[in-house]
Structure 1
Amino acid sequence: MADPYGLYARLREAGPVHRIAGPDGRPAWVVTRYDDVRQALADPRLSLDKRRARPGGYQGFALPPALDANLLNMDPPDHTRIRRLVTQAFTAGRIERLREPVRRTADALLDGIAPDGRADLVAAYAAPLPIAVICELLGVPPQDRPDFRGWTDALVAPDPARPGRAKEAIGSMLGFFGRLIAHKRAEPGDDLLSALIAVRDENDGDDRLSEDELMSLAFLILFAGYENTVQLIGNATLALLRHPGQLAKLRADPARIPSAVEELVRYDGPALLAIRRFPVDDLPIGGVTVPAGETVLLSLAAAVRDPLRFPEPDRLDLDRDTAGHLALGHGIHYCLGAPLARLETEIALGALLERFPRLALDVPYSELRWRPSTRARGLLTLPVRY
């Protein structure tokens, strides 16, 4: 967990494709090199539909139909239909209108910790900021915002000591989204969820959303929008604190922050692996034939540190040409929320560096604790002083 990049470097050097035991002990194939991962991310012969999986293979965590009918489990034409519909509501203008609310939220969170001199930056800043933003986007009133962090942690990094926690989290989410959608139907607002409900209810054609698809889409936007952004903010802050020369460049010229975010997400992004895929036929990848229906895990973490694509890949370089990095995916399944994650991270870093000119780690790097997940790359805590 502390050094996935060292492991993936050894795998990448040993070969492009490896048969492994997946996170649940079931067999899977992991792909490690940039060119192979990039090609596979856009290959229609690799399906996201779990019905393509062989019995007994790794499929990821199980969700009820009301949450499982989402873009991460779909191929065209259903994926194309739903992605087109959500893109109509998830516009660049709607994202840009969040800029000022995001900055106000960031400033308010920093106001709250400023007098203390020390803080856990994950709990105090990196986690509550994206929760507030995604709730603002979906139109969730502040008083109705439950423990999203607890729910996502229960699914992404389950606690072996609490085997029933994931099931409890799923039940809580089902109840929450059911109530929220009913409320938005009765009292629509100027928010993304109201827009999606309108798309669902006012479209009588073949491309309309089913009720399960609507709820699953709301779940995915909240789940992925929160989980990926909290990791990205935390990882990016840590990377800068460990590279004072690069940090000094941003302090001297804050206008560089948007381009710096691309190198920060390449260097230590929120996802180690892309969502699992299943070949529809026996498929050659990197000189290895993967049998149809077996699980393929595309290692984003290995691909973005491939020295054949990014020279000196283990070095943080804010002047690097990051074009084509795969940290947020590639092809038709490219991260839908990438523009929002970039916006939040730019604002979060800008506000943090502006407020605390002497920000520093408050513990040795070796004492930092990482989430116990092979999928999500993120800190449990980030103790800092300022």
Structure 2
Amino acid sequence: MTPRPNPRRNVLKMSQTEEARTPETTEPEHGERRLGFGALFSRHVISARYADGVWSGTELLDFDDLRMSPAAMVMHYGQAIFEGLKAFRADQRTVLIFRAADCATRFDRSATRMGMPPLPPGLFVDAVTRLISADAAEVPSSPGSAIYIRPVMFADEPSLAVRPSTEFRFLVLASPVDSFFASGRTMIDAYAQRSHIRAALGGTGDVKCAGNYAGAMAAKTEAMSRGCDEVLWLDAVEHRFLEEFGAMNCFVVQGSGASAELITPPLTGTILPGHTRATVINLAQRRGIAVREAPIALDEVLDPDGMISEVFACGTAAGVAPVRTIVTDAGRTRTFGHRPGPITAGLAADYTALVHGALAAEPDWIIRIEG
């Protein structure tokens, strides 16, 4: 990596007022546009390399453009995985990193599935902690904001041979963010279509590889062209059952009041086992809400006279996102309301309190950065 002046400013065209701000001041001030998602980056990056069967130690470097060979195997055969987690500001001096150890476990599982070397024990969590400790001043504090952390591993051996790479790069970078959705809305519209599938049994649907997201871009574009925020994926065999949203897991509420039940599709090998999904299940159980994993038919969800009263998406990037409307490629539409339902609203509030330290977390969920 060759140092270049202020490389993070290449990401967005800034106004003169914004250019005058220090790099550490990343949260919006009154009258300025919001942070968005993934457009700004913190000052540093963590880097490590794998070659000759051994991982190097990690380095804390200035954020800069990455120099790669045009023959780097990731660009030709797609060996790339990533994770996503967030750190939240609890107060002026304290930042909380959420569920890093769980992300490390899933990262290694993704690596194994993609023919890539797992990281040495502890390296993932140490790298994330080191980066956020260095860039803690850049964690925003405005409501709904956080710093999104992106660990990534990719094949960077220069070769066109059709085989697994023998050299890899591991990076951790961070981005101050607010709303995951371009619209900035707190309720989303979803598009369910049957012409594409996300994953089939035996594939890579339950790991976090880059190719899963590349293959979903056409459907995402179609959803946005119809005025929706996200794709709602259906099963690959019958195209009848909900699987997950574009980058989030799926929940529905059946019934209402004391008899309400939370249902989410089962993890049968085609759905990513999300950490926010697991957190929501934990929070629902704390509230005494019945939770079960079961197939959810799209027809049941679309039936205005049926038992499904609320739908929401959840993921690290988006948090808990209530669904306002589902639209299908067959022209069917159901609107669930213009305000979150009571179960969704309660779980969203609990999740926000949890990640900011106002609600007790389970052991090993939180890493505290002080100072």
Normalising by the residue count of structure 1, what TM-score does the alignment of the two structures yield? 0.29
- Name whichever structure is richer in strand by fraction: 2
Normalising by the residue count of structure 2, what TM-score does the alignment of the two structures yield? 0.30
- Name whichever structure is richer in helix by fraction: 1
Higher relative contact order (CA 8 A, sep 6+): 1
